[in-house]
Amino acid sequence: MSFAVDVNLLLYASDLGSPEHEAARDFVGRCAAGPEVCCFGWVTLMSYLRMATHPSIFARPLAHADAARNIEALLALPHVRVLAEEDGFWALYRALTSEVPTRGNLVPDAHLAALLRQHGVTTLYTHDRDFRKFTFLDVRDPLH
């Protein structure tokens, strides 16, 4: 069994000022402990790096080196997999976005959803309700 984790949970786990910090930190800790295969898209990891270091998003943004070390700690775990776009991704993305009208902030969500579909991952842990629009996903909110 495998699952994927969305960027918002990583951000809450890193943001000491977030009301969701403790619950997200505990959830990410359980993911890190294994044994289930935990998947991240490169889009998720790079979004984490972008947002965790951004002063308009975090009251106390992480230094780039600290955020990068957080990613490296995840990548070092034997049960973590990073998903990348493969041949046929664009056609899959276009088919998915023909089913779910996509614009603005839903574009990166559709990107991740298409990536998960391409790799056969159907369970996504996130605090973002927009992912429920992608009916093939089993969306779970570990913070509620």
- CA–CA separation, 144 vs 136, rounded Å? 21
Domains in the chain, CATH or no CATH each = 2-136 (3.40.50.1010)
- Coil, helix or strand for 111? helix
What pLDDT does 1 receive?
Answer: 74
The one-digit pLDDT tens for each residue of the chain (144 residues) are: 799 999 999 999 999 999 999 999 999 999 999 999 999 999 999 999 999 999 998 889 999 999 999 999 999 999 999 999 999 999 999 999 999 999 999 999 999 999 999 999 999 999 999 999 999 999 999 998
Predicted TM-score of the model (pTM): 0.95
Please name the residues in contact with 144: beta carbons below 8 A apart, sequence gap of 6 or more: none
What pLDDT does 59 receive?
Answer: 87
- CA–CA separation, 43 vs 50, rounded Å? 10
CB 117 within 8 A of CB 96: yes
Q: Which pLDDT tens digit goes with each residue over 84-110?
A: 999 999 999 999 999 999 999 999 999
- The CA distances from residue 132 to 11, 36, 57, 81, 127, in Å, are 20, 23, 24, 23, 11
- The CA distances from residue 9 to 81, 83, 92, in Å, are 17, 17, 26
- CA–CA separation, 110 vs 126, rounded Å? 14
What pLDDT does 133 receive?
Answer: 97
